Every structure is written in C-alpha cells, then in structure tokens.
Structure 1
Amino acid sequence: MVLSMGIKVGITDTTFARVDMASVAVKKLNEMTSKVQIIRYTVPGMKDLPVACKKLIEEQGCEIVLALGMPGGKDKDKVCAHEASQGLMMAQLMTNKHIIEVFVHEDEAKDGKELDWLAKRRAVEHAENIYYMLFDQKYLEKQAGMGLREGFEDVGPAKR
C-alpha cells in the first residue's frame, strides 16, 4: 500500500518582509487539515516570487501556491510590487495553477504593531482560502458577493 503525502501546497515568502507570514500560514493550514504537504521556498525579494512560485508548481508538483510579500512604503517599492504581481499573474497563466498573492503594504498600517497584526491575519485568512479552494469550493461559492476582505474588516455586500 502506498501512503499519500497529501496535496502539495507551495508557500513562498521573502527576507524583505518585516513579518514571517509563511510560518503563520503553514500553522493555519496544518491546523485545518492533514491532507496537505507544504513546501516552503523563501527568496530575497518580491520580484523573486514569480519564479519561486513557478518552480514550486513545475519542479515540486504543487497544486496551488501562496505568495507572501511585504512592499515597502516608497514609490519604488510600489513599482516593484506591481511588477511582482504581473509576474505572478503570468506564472499562473503559464502553469494553469492558482497563485494566491498576499501582499501587505507597509503603509497600510499605522505602526509596526498593526503591521504585524495585519500581515499575520491576512496570511491566516488566505491560508483558509487555499483550504477552501482545495477541499470545499462550495463554501467559497456561498461567500460570493459578500464583500469579504482579508486583513481588515469585511465591507459586506452592496445594498440595493
């Protein structure tokens, strides 16, 4: 009898980030299911994330990847985040696999304490999304149009 190691899930993160979001996401996924095998790949910066994700999919056989990054607050950091995001979209199209982009911009938070909280909460909520994408797509369908946000409070559905 061959024992399955579970569905391979990739998690990429960067040394540039000021919060270890990957450890939080790994912990959450492991709490939710034992049916995944998590492969973590840490790179220096956000512009390294697209190739890291593509390698996790093509070389490691990951079914889905979580790409975690933390752009700084300067204009050049926003440009780098945009370029990284474009690369992540291209990698998704090239591999036909989902890459869930989780960027937490430093200027989203008022201070370091809120930044730490926001990064960890967003990582957890996107780890939950990966679980639902893999194992309970109907749950996500029920949430369509609800104005859900990862990190800060949900905005709710539009009123008629």
Structure 2
Amino acid sequence: MRKYGVVDTTFSRIDMGSIAIKVIRAEDPDAEIIRYTVPGIKDMPVAAKRLLDEGCDGVITLGWVGKSMLDKYSYLATSIGLIITQVLTSKHIIDVTVHEDEVNDEEKLKDLAIDRVTKHAKNLVMLVRDGRNALTPYAGKGLRQGYENAGPID
C-alpha cells in the first residue's frame, strides 16, 4: 500500500492540508495518508523527514509565506532544508508554497492556493504511484500551479 505524508502549518490562511488529502484520496483511494501540522514553514523539513522515516513514499509540504523580507529568508532556509531532506532520503517532497504578496486580492490568493495545492497533490500521486516517468508526457508543456498555464513555445 502506498503511503503519503501531508505537512501543513498553522500559519497558513486556508486549510491547505485538507485540500491535499482530499485530492490524494480521490487520485489514490487505497493509499494511507498521514498528516503532520506544524506551526510554521521552518518546522516543515523535520516533519517531512519524520514522515519519510515512518515509511511514507512521498510527502507534500504546504507552506504560507508572509510579506516581509524575514519571511522570505525563512522560506529560503526551509526550501534548502527540504531539498537536503530529499537528497538524504531519495524520496520526493513536493514543496507547495503560497506567498502572501503574490496577489493583492484575498479571494484571488485563496484561489491561487487551492489551485496550487490541487495540482501539486496530483503531481505527488503520479510520482509515487506511477513512477519516475509519470510526468514525462507533460514535459515542456509550460504547466503552472496557481496560475494559468504558460504553454509551450513551438
């Protein structure tokens, strides 16, 4: 049985974890899903590592980054920690992050977050369930998460 980890934070302004779980269940109904909620993004690397150590085949991390430069530096540190964790475990961690200053309208920010979580949760399932070449048919398509697809350059 496949096992997925979902790491989310209390700092997020929407319940990104529930969205990811709903998508993973729809895409891989027989899989086990373990959720781990932490206070903020800097706590995500250790949560992801613990879930992978507990047998998860892949993890999705769901972070919300504030507008200040300090928040951006915290995200940079988090991203590096998640990359190191991937290298050490040889397992995918799909890092889904919403930056508070991506759009000024809160409803659009919410829509962006939902779209990004949904698409990346599907990406995680494809990588875990279907293997390393699962996304190959989509290579070079200009796909985006959170925004309209950019499309390929022909």
Following TM superposition, where does structure 1 have runs of at least 4 consecutive aligned residues deviating by more than 6 angstroms? Answer: none
1:107-126 map, 5 Å: 107-126=101-120
1:38-57 map, 5 Å: 38-57=33-52
Using the TM superposition, give the Cα deviation of residue 139 of structure 1 relative to its aligned residue in structure 2, in angstroms: 4.4
Task: Say which of 9, 13, 18 aligns to 1:18.
Answer: 13
User: 2 CA distance for matches of 1:31 and 1:8?
Assistant: 14
One-letter amino acid of the structure 2 residue matched with residue 36 of structure 1: A
Using the TM superposition, give the Cα deviation of residue 82 of structure 1 relative to its aligned residue in structure 2, in angstroms: 0.5
Using the TM superposition, give the Cα deviation of residue 18 of structure 1 relative to its aligned residue in structure 2, in angstroms: 0.8
Q: Which deviates more, 36-45 or 105-114?
A: 105-114
Q: Does residue 101 of structure 1 match 2:95?
A: yes
Using the TM superposition, give the Cα deviation of residue 95 of structure 1 relative to its aligned residue in structure 2, in angstroms: 1.0
Structure 1 length-normalised TM: 0.91
SS at match of 1:104: strand
User: 2 CA distance for matches of 1:133 and 1:95?
Assistant: 15
User: 2 CA distance for matches of 1:139 and 1:54?
Assistant: 24
Equivalent residue, structure 2, for 1:148: 143
Give RMSD over aligned pairs: 1.1
Q: Does residue 81 of structure 1 match 2:71?
A: no
Q: Is the 8 A contact 2:5 2:36 kept in 1?
A: yes
Task: Say which of 19, 24, 27 aligns to 1:29.
Answer: 24
Using the TM superposition, give the Cα deviation of residue 136 of structure 1 relative to its aligned residue in structure 2, in angstroms: 3.2
5+ residue gaps, structure 2, are: none
Measured at CA, do residues 139 and 98 of structure 1 come closer, stay the same or move farther in structure 2, by a change above 3 Å?
A: closer
Using the TM superposition, give the Cα deviation of residue 134 of structure 1 relative to its aligned residue in structure 2, in angstroms: 2.1
Measured at CA, do residues 94 and 133 of structure 1 come closer, stay the same or move farther in structure 2, by a change above 3 Å?
A: same
- Percent identity over the alignment is 45
The number of residues matched between the two structures is 153
5+ residue gaps, structure 1, are: 1-5
Equivalent residue, structure 1, for 2:126: 132
Equivalent residue, structure 2, for 1:9: 4
